[in-house]
A and B are shown apart, each in its own frame.
Chain A
Amino acid sequence: MSGSGMTMNGSYDYHLVALSILIAVLASYAALDLAARVTAAQGRVRFAWLWGGAAAMGTGIWSMHYIGMLAFSLPVPVFYDWPTVLVSLLAAVFTSAIALFVVSRQKMGTPAAMVGSVIMGAGIATMHYTGMAAMRLPAMCQYSPGLVALSVVLAIVISLVALWLTFRFRNDVKGKWLPKIASAALMGAAIPVMHYTGMAAAGFTPTNEAPDLSHAVSVSSLGITGISIVTFMVLGLAVITSVIDRRFSVLESSEERLRLIINTALDAVVTMNAEGLITNWNSEAERTFGWSSQEALGRRLSETIVPPQYREDYERGLQRFLKTGDGMMLRQRTEIAALHRDGHEFPVEVATSPIKFGGQWIFNSFIRDITEHKRAQEELLNAKQAAEDANRAKSAFLANMSHELRTPLNAIIGYSEMLEEETRESGEVGTVRDLQKIQSAGKHLLSLINDILDLSKIEAGKMGLHLETFDVPQMIEEIVSTVKPAVSKNNNTIQLEVAKNAGKMRADLTKVRQILLNLLSNSCKFTDHGIIALKVDRITSDHQDWVQFQVIDTGIGITAEHTQNLFREFSQADSSISRKYGGTGLGLAITHRFIQIMRGRISVDSKPGQGSTFTVQLPAEVALESGGPDRSQLPDDIPPVSQYARQDRGTILVIDDDPVVRDLMSRSLTKLGFRTVAGKTGAEALELAKKVRPLLITLDVMMPEMNGWSVLKQLKADSGTAEIPVIMITIVDNEPMGVDLGASGYLIKPVDRDRLAVLVEKYSSHTRAEANTTVHSKLTVHS
């Protein structure tokens, strides 16, 4: 210590010295923590952390200095010039900022560390000596150059150590608090070392000059301010940090969870960025494609898993999406070929979703290897094909058998009939009887074959329903006349009771006939000198309309035991029955099945010796089995002609060069209630069409000069006649042409009256509706 006069001796309050060291340690800890945050952050957040951290750390260092000053007392009062104090604070903050910047970069090489520590050391020294310069006291301050130099060197060395420690431990955000505390302690202790060395370098000599106290504040207030700020900062930091830490850990644990989910997924999860590079590759992706995630990350996706022949398309698709937002393969599942690392291609199912994240597009795909699946599919298809082939073979077999079996039988029956006729004429009665036996055996065999074939068809599921609407009483009439010979054979009489409302039903006529004939012939067989009654009713049950047929006989009846097996194939009540009564035992089985197919019911009520009653109920409207094809190919709800006989339903133009045809057509149409106008040639057709504006035109194709097609074309070309429906009548089948040219219907000569009626009905109702005449309001509209 040098100077004129006596140097003053300062004294230290060791409590405050200790406090200053504590503050330094706290500030260092904060600095370490902040360094980690700054490193982890990006963008604006990083900036915030950096300057926040600099402020905290700078203030900490500065507070330490002034607490140190508070600990030091001189015999004279000491004040501090607060503007200078402020400058020293700024110096501290700035230095801290630089320090944090240096330690938060990705790498800190030796040169950076050296430069950083020099700057930081210089900064700390600046801060210290500026702080000293802020002193206002009636004394002179002199510095020992050696100690000053030492203090600066110390500052630099300490900075280097501090920087290194901070960089080393910056990533230990969670856990491992011991190293962090240790390095904080080290750093924290080092700063006071520098400070007190600097203090030792200073010597104070009292002067008589009054200090400039214009901006002076006392140490104590500075000290208190300093402590408060630091405390608040450190506390605040601790709070913020812990909160963020917690959020981070929650985030991290949920992040961890998601990572686990993705890595344990059984689908390959692959993420790609807008440049086409792989940014995510889960464990399943590794297994599926043969690339480890280290190898895959950063590779071009298309070069990794897209087969070479599709790469160009893929890239183009990606570009198109980025430009237009249009993506064919996106937001849906697609099956495509993928490439394995070893070069083989395999089928995969891909679901890709584009995501906009932080202003960038990323593409997330879930990919599944479907090789097995495809194989199973193919096997299924093959099995289906095989089953269909077998099915077709079965149908063909049945059809063939049917034909093959019946043909020779027809010959047997036919010839024996013929020979019977011829022999009858010649008078050889014996031979006639023999021939009759052949005939009846043949007929019996035929019925057996028919039954067996029916059952085979039913078994094979090939027995379809051919639905048609028919008149019930009429059918009954036909059946009765058919069974008459069988009835009289055993001297029976037949009684009929057909309800008045029996009306019509829609069912498979052939099957219904077969059912009734079977039941009736059974009754005839097992009844002798008795009565066979046939009752037909219409009933409602289960909210449905049914037609009920009852066959009641006064025959031998059936025992309760036998009724159980009644509808089973080949089980006649008694084995002796087939010998005595004939029959195959198949009839009832077939009857039963037919009723089943039509969703009807059959029941039997019988007492041995008294007779039997068979009750059959069929829906008045039989529905097809679900999914079954409707074999009826014609619209059969044709209104009977008589209904419309006397009404004027409009005018129809009939064009034909043949007068006979013209006449016949006109008569048929008149019977249906229309007025007709006839024309002979194409020219007349066009003229009359325009003049009469008929409801409908029937047009012959084969006419001399202008044929029907040309006429049709011209009719459709003229707006006055284009709307009139035209039905082409011809002997040549050329329906497609008709449709092309705009014909509404097509009939082949000779014209079936019923078909004509249907077509005329169909097309005249359209025009009728448009014409809105009073006539049609009285008529019922047909669907």
Chain B
Amino acid sequence: MPKILLIEDNEMNRDMLSRRLQRKGYHVLTAESGEQGLSLARLESPDLILMDISLPEMDGWEASRQLKADESTRHIPIIALTARALKSDQAKAFEVGCNDYDTKPVDFGRLMQKIENLLVEKKAL
């Protein structure tokens, strides 16, 4: 059962997303902040990370950078969840090392597709 780490500070979003993912058969870990997300990632080594960008204190960009800089977590695919759909945000996501991005409010079906793609890729590697 693939493990997904969800880093999202908004309680309702966290709740909705984690429950829906669980119903799809994923084991879901949640973190409320960038810091928490980093330590959880290092500890649990999830198969995929869903990273909300607008986190308090350390934002999603910074957290992503650090995850990709760390040997132990560098290999974990990250999907950035951003409220804006500007091309510049897309570019920034890739720049900091994210493997994909999606916009909020989340279109669950679309997100599922992206998650599945990345997990398949990872397995292939």
Which residues of A line the B interface, CB within 8 A? 403, 406-407, 410-411, 413-415, 417-418, 421-422, 446, 466, 468, 510, 631-634, 636, 731-733, 748-750, 752, 755
Are A632 and B97 in contact (CB-based, < 8 A)? no
Secondary structure type dominating chain B contacts: helix
B104 touches A632 (CB 8 A): no
B16 in contact (CB, < 8 A): yes
Alpha-carbon distance between A406 and B83 when the two chains are bound, in angstroms: 10
Shortest B34–chain A CB gap in Å is: 16
B92 and chain A: residue at smallest CB distance: A633
In contact, B87 and A632 (Cβ under 8 angstroms): yes
Would A755 and B94 count as touching, CB distance under 8 A? yes
B26 within 8 A of A: no
Closest to A636 in B: B87
Contacts A410-B104, A731-B68 hold; do A418 and B20 have CB atoms under 8 A apart? yes
* Given A406-B105, A421-B20, A731-B68, CB of A748 within 8 Å of CB of B85: no
Bound together, the chains give a CA A448 to CA B20 distance in angstroms of 27
- What 0/1 readout, one digit per residue, does chain B (17-33) give for beta carbons within 8 Å of chain A? 10110010000000000
Q: Is the CB of A415 within 8 A of B85?
A: no
A205 to B12, CA, bound (A): 154
What are the interface flags for B66-105 relative to A under an 8 Å C-beta threshold, 1 for contact and 0 otherwise? 0011000010000000010111100100111101000011
User: B13 touching A421 by the CB < 8 A rule?
Assistant: no
B residues whose Cβ falls under 8 Å from a Cβ of A: 10, 12-13, 16-17, 19-20, 23, 65, 68-69, 74, 83, 85-88, 91, 94-97, 99, 104-106, 108
A–B Cβ pairs within 8 angstroms, 10 of them: A414-B16, A415-B16, A510-B85, A633-B87, A633-B91, A634-B87, A636-B87, A748-B96, A749-B68, A755-B94
Chain A residue with the shortest CB-CB distance to B125: A660
CB closest residue in chain B, given A470: B87
Contacts of A406 in B (CB 8 A): 83, 105
Asked if residues B68 and A418 are in contact (CB atoms below 8 Å), the reply is no
- Whether A411 contacts B91 in the complex (CB less than 8 A), given A418-B20, A421-B23, A750-B97, comes out as no
What residues of A have a CB within 8 angstroms of the CB of B96 in the complex? 748
**6 smallest beta-carbon distances between A and B, as pairs:** A411-B12, A633-B88, A752-B94, A414-B16, A410-B105, A731-B69
Q: Is the CB of A748 within 8 A of B87?
A: no
Give chain B nearest CB distance to A1 CB in angstroms.
133
Separation of A19 and B85 alpha carbons in the complex (Å):
118
Note all chain A residues with C-beta closer than 8 A to B104.
410
Contacts of B85 in A (CB 8 A): 510
How far does the Cβ of A398 sit from chain B's closest Cβ, in whole Å? 14
| Given A731-B97, A732-B69, A422 contacting B105 (CB threshold 8 A) | no
- Asked whether A468 and B87 contact (CB < 8 A) given A414-B16, A731-B68, A748-B95, the answer is yes
On chain A, the residues within 8 Å of B69 by CB distance are 731-732
From B17, B23, B87, give the contact of A422 (CB < 8 A): B23
Q: Beyond the given A411-B13, A636-B87, please list 16 additional residue pairs across the A-B interface where CB-CB is below 8 A.
A: A414-B13, A414-B16, A415-B16, A418-B16, A421-B20, A421-B23, A466-B87, A468-B87, A634-B87, A731-B68, A748-B65, A748-B96, A750-B68, A752-B95, A755-B91, A755-B94
User: From A467, which residue of chain B is reached at the shortest CB distance?
Assistant: B87
Report chain B residues within 8 Å CB of A632: 87-88
Cross-chain contact of B65 among A407, A631, A733 (Cβ < 8 A): A733
Distance between B67 CB and nearest chain A CB, rounded to angstroms: 10
Interface centre among A403, A407, A750, by most B CB within 10 Å? A750
A633 vs chain B, min Cβ distance (A):
4
Chain A residues positioned under 8 Å from B12 (CB to CB): 410-411, 414-415
Are B23 and A414 neighbours in the complex by a CB distance under 8 Å?
no
> Is B65 touching A634 in the complex (CB atoms < 8 A)?
no
Task: Output the least CB separation between A108 and chain B (Å).
Answer: 95
Q: Is the CB of A413 within 8 A of B105?
A: yes
The closest CB in chain A to the CB of B99 belongs to: A750
Query: Chain B residues with Cβ under 8 A from A414's Cβ?
Result: 12-13, 16-17, 105-106
Q: A414-B13, A468-B87, A633-B88 are in contact. Are A749 and B97 (CB under 8 A)?
A: yes
A631 to B69, CA, bound (A): 30
A410 with B13: CB separation less than 8 A:
yes
CA distance A274 to B88 in the complex (A): 65
Residues of B within 8 A of A446 (CB): 105
Residues of A within 8 A of B17 (CB): 414
Contacts of B108 in A (CB 8 A): 417
Q: Is the CB of B10 within 8 A of A407?
A: yes
* Nearest neighbor of B97 in chain A, beta-carbon distance: A750
What residues of A have a CB within 8 angstroms of the CB of B83 in the complex?
403, 406
Chain B residue nearest in CB terms to A731: B69
Give the shortest distance, in Å, between B40 (CB) and chain A (any CB).
20
The CA-CA distance from A403 to B104 in the complex, in Å, is 11
Query: Min CB distance, B49 to chain A, in Å?
Result: 14
Chain A residue contacts of B74, Cβ below 8 A? 731
Question: Which residues from chain B contact A413 at a C-beta distance below 8 Å?
Answer: 105
